[in-house]
Amino acid sequence: MTNLFKITILIVLVLFQISCKPVQDISPKQGTITVPAKGKIKMWNDLEHASFSLKLENTSTKNSCEAYKVKKGNQKWISPSLLANKSLEFSIATNGYLVLQNYSDEVITVKYTIN
């Protein structure tokens, strides 16, 4: 009986450790993202993290960029688009990620800040 109790406690501890994986802190908290001409880029995919607030700033004077947030394979367009010389603020869900899509013929540089 004592051995069964010890084995049960051991199994519970192992399962608890597995379920409590560490959540990574996203860094750097600010920087730039270069979105290729007629291309797209994914940010923070395949990374376990807590939800966070994000500010994007489009430095292009004439080209817009589409932004999507993705959670568990469900992609949601952020409306309005990331317009030229404008910024957007929104949140990314736990373990979600960002997709930026550029339909223009020019590279777009986007500044980001994580709050």
Q: Which amino acid is at 71?
A: K
CB 69 within 8 A of CB 92: yes
pTM surpassing 0.95? no
Which comes out higher in pLDDT, residue 28 or 100? Answer: 100
**pLDDT tens, residue by residue, 14-27:** 554 544 444 566 77
* CA 17 – CA 14 distance, rounded (Å): 5
Q: Is 4 helix (H, G, I), strand (E, B) or coil?
A: helix
Write down the pLDDT at residue 20: 46
Which comes out higher in pLDDT, residue 90 or 13? Answer: 90
Q: What is the arithmetic mean of pLDDT over 3-32?
A: 63
**pLDDT tens, residue by residue, 44-101:** 998 889 999 999 999 999 999 999 999 988 999 998 899 999 999 999 999 999 999 9
Q: What is the arithmetic mean of pLDDT over 99-115?
A: 95
First-to-last alpha carbon distance for the chain, in angstroms, is 52
* CA 113 – CA 107 distance, rounded (Å): 20
- The pair phi, psi for residue 43, each rounded to 5°, is -120, 135
- CA nearest neighbour of 67 among 30, 97, 99, 39: 99
Write down the pLDDT at residue 28: 84
